């Protein structure tokens, strides 16, 4: 006989949520700590290295910050873009695919840009990426509007199509393939000419890339867009009830097309900034932002300031895991992935626990 059942909490206190998150993270760190002990590693040392992302005792500490920001920028922009479409209840899980289209088109510009000034090249890369990703986004939205296709399936399949497209490009030695290095027998992606590499503001040894500044500005813009503009208002009405939007005289189809274009174009922009910062392209260039971005958007409850904070935390987790893993021969990057997975999973459980409580069923009293 069932004695327990779940009840949704009436209120959602921010303190309680934070406490549950903290408990969730502690639990996951303990689980991974046991794994580390089995491997003969002191978990406290490992976690210390992870949280300081390799800054402490490192002569090239500024490199760590630069590396962290390279993880952070694409994740932030992608999460912002996904939050925008989720707000409209358009389940765009095609972040990976949209990112790859943008990355490929930005690279086409990059590889053919020798002779152009740096600023012009990077702007062209961004435009090419935004336009290509945006058009794919519009196409999927149009199928949804016109034929009521399932956007979740369409965007999901897009991810795999684009993954295999970029693998094809990366594996095919041919005259047309300007993506690959000419001086190598094996197929290897080439490096961008200097004109296509992201520059920044030098602050001592550290360089603050323009992409970081763009990402922070975008956060502010999207926050204002969703909260104060008419278009943002339309997005929230369509997301809340598309029948209501239609009854209010809104052109629901147009709003879906427009929002999905903006969402995918932003992901394309994230890709252009990422390839330009990396100075090359690869089939792992997405760093799974299309997937992680979904988690960021949900953990933040689609609130833009929260997306910003969550993106920083997840980036530290990712980059810190990798940084720490490099110092121990017993573990590799895969362990970093495992740790990340366990932490995200327990945070999601904590989120559930913060919203629901388990109630013991009172035994019915005999009268």
Partner 1 sequence: MEYAIELKNISKSFGPVAANKNINLSLAKGEILALLGENGSGKTTLMNMLSGIYMPDSGSIFIDGKRVQINSPEDSGKLGIGMVHQHFKLVERFTALENIRIGMRGEGRFLHGNEVRNKIENTASRFGFEIDLDKKVANMAVSEKQTLEILKVLCYGAKIIILDEPTAVLTVQEIDRLFNVLRRMKNEGHSIIIITHKLNEVMEISDRVTVLRHGDYIGTVNTKETNDKELTELMVGRKITLNIDRPVIEKTHPLLEIRDLTVKNDEGAIAVDHINFYIRGGEILGVAGIAGSGQKELCEAIAGLRKIEEGHMIHEGESIVGMSPKKILEHGISMSFIPEDRLGMGLAPSLSITDNMILKSYNDTKGIFVDRKSAREEAQKVIRKLEINTPSADTPVRRLSGGNVQKVLLGREIKSGPNVLITAYPVRGLDINSSYTIYDILNGEKKKGVGILFVGEDLDVMLSLCDKIMVICHGKLQGVVNSDHTTKEEIGLMMTGTLNIVNKEGKTDGIAKDSAFTDEEVKA
Q: What is the DSSP code (8-state) at residue 191? A: B
Q: Residue 248, interface with partner 1 (CB under 8 A)?
A: yes
Residues numbered 215 to 234 that lie near partner 1 (CB under 8 A) are: 228-233
Q: Which of 7, 14, 203, 358 binds partner 1 (CB under 8 A)?
A: 7
Q: Contact, 32 vs 342, CB < 8 A?
A: yes
Determine the interface stretch with partner 1 among 6-14, 59-67, 113-121, 185-193 (rule: CB under 8 A): 6-14
Q: Residue 362, interface with partner 1 (CB under 8 A)?
A: yes
Q: Residue 364, interface with partner 1 (CB under 8 A)?
A: yes
Q: Residue 147, interface with partner 1 (CB under 8 A)?
A: no
Q: Residue 5, interface with partner 1 (CB under 8 A)?
A: yes
Q: Residue 203, interface with partner 1 (CB under 8 A)?
A: no
Q: What is the DSSP code (8-state) at residue 361? A: P
Helix-helix angle 304-325:289-299, to 10 degrees: 130
Backbone angles phi, psi at 268, to 5 degrees: -60, -40
Q: Which of 40, 204, 249, 329 binds partner 1 (CB under 8 A)?
A: 249
Dig out the tokens for 71 from the structure. Answer: 């993880």
Cα 12 from Cα 8, distance rounded (Å): 10
Q: Residue 246, interface with partner 1 (CB under 8 A)?
A: yes
Determine the interface stretch with partner 1 among 148-156, 179-187, 190-198, 357-365 (rule: CB under 8 A): 357-365
User: C-beta of 263: minimal distance to partner 1 in Å?
Assistant: 18
Cα 68 from Cα 215, distance rounded (Å): 14
The answer for residues whose C-beta is within 8 angstroms of residue 135's C-beta and 6 or more apart is 261
Please give the size of the binding site for partner 1, defined by CB under 8 A: 30
- State which residue, 181 or 361, has the beta carbon closest to partner 1: 361
Burial call 233-265: b when 16+ CB within 10 Å, e when fewer: ebbebbbeebeebeeeebebbebbbbbbbbbbb
Residues near partner 1, by CB under 8 A: 1-2, 5, 7-10, 228-233, 236-237, 240-241, 243-249, 361-362, 364-367
């Amino acid at each position: 006989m069932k004695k327990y059942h779940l009840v949704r909490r009436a209120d959602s206190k921010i303190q309680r949520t934070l406490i549950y998150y903290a408990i969730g993270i502690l639990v996951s760190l303990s689980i991974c700590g046991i794994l580390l002990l089995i491997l003969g590693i002191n978990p406290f040392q490992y976690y210390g290295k992870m949280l300081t992302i390799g800054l402490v005792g490192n002569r090239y500490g500024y490199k760590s910050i630069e590396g962290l920001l390279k993880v952070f920028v694409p994740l932030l922009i992608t999460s912002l873009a996904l939050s925008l479409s989720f707000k409209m209840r358009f389940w765009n899980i095609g972040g990976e695919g949209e990112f790859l289209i943008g990355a490929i088109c930005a690279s086409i510009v990059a590889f053919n840009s020798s002779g152009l000034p740096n600023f012009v090249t990077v702007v062209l890369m961004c435009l090419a990426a935004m336009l290509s990703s945006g058009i794919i986004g519009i196409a999927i939205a149009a199928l949804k509007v016109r034929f009521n296709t399932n956007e979740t399936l369409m965007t999901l399949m897009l991810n795999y199509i684009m993954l295999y497209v970029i693998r094809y490009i990366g594996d095919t030695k041919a005259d047309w393939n300007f993506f690959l290095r000419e001086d190598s027998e094996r197929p290897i992606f080439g490096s961008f000419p200097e004109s296509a590499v992201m520059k920044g503001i030098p602050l001592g040894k550290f360089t603050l890339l323009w992409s970081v500044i763009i990402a922070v500005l975008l956060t502010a813009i999207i926050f204002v867009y969703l909260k104060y503009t008419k278009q943002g208002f339309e997005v929230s009405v369509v997301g809340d009830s598309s029948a209501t939007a239609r009854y209010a005289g809104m052109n629901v189809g147009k709003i879906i097309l427009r929002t999905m274009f903006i969402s995918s174009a932003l992901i394309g922009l994230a890709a252009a900034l990422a390839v330009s910062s990396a100075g090359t392209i690869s089939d792992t260039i997405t760093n799974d932002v299309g997937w992680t971005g979904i988690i960021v958007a949900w953990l933040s409850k689609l609130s833009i300031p929260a997306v910003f904070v969550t993106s920083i935390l997840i980036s530290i987790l990712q980059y810190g895991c990798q940084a720490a893993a490099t110092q121990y021969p017993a573990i590799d990057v895969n362990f970093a992935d495992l740790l990340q997975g366990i932490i995200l999973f327990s945070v999601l459980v904590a989120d559930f626990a913060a919203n629901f409580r388990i109630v013991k069923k009172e035994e019915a009293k005999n009268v």
